[in-house]
Amino acid sequence: MANDLWSISRLADEFGMDRRTVKSRLDEVKPTGVLNKNPAWSLKDAAPFLVDQLTTNVDGCYDVSELPPDLKLKHYQAERERLKLEIDLGDVIPLNVFQDVLADSFKTFAQMMDTFPDVLERDCNIGADALEAVQKTIDEVRTNLHKKMINDSE
């Protein structure tokens, strides 16, 4: 029976954990026996408390809301590190950077559209009636773009 018993050190080695972690997880588990005057457990009694048991859905993914607090913390820390890596690799753009670039792009576009009728008049000798039609069309395009952006953001 002594060969079937596992000490804290042996369990820590087998599960790749710190001895203190094993000890704290087994605090509530009654030892199966004694080895060298120290408590010892059978593997079948100790293993369920040493293996992280995550609630999974049909996709094999776990539901973060059902994790114990210490595992939730680890999950969110890992997610934060993943996002930092994706930002460093250029796979993800922070929202404030995206918003600034988008705003600058639309400002530039709006300025170009504001000066477009003047360019047509100066460089293409377009008459007043045609310029008025161009200005009306530009205003409609800008209005429609604004409406589309507002509706898509809701």
Instruction: Provide CB contacts within 8 A for 26, sequence distance 6+.
Output: 8, 11, 41, 46, 49, 50
Report in angstroms the alpha-carbon separations of 90 from 19, 53, 81, 113: 40, 34, 14, 32
Per-residue pLDDT of the chain (154 residues; tens, 9 = 90+): 556 899 999 998 888 888 998 999 899 899 999 998 999 999 888 888 887 654 555 555 667 887 778 888 888 999 999 999 999 999 999 999 999 999 999 899 989 998 999 999 999 989 999 999 999 999 999 999 889 988 877 6
Task: Return d(Cα 124, Cα 134) in angstroms, integer.
Answer: 13
Global pTM reads 0.46
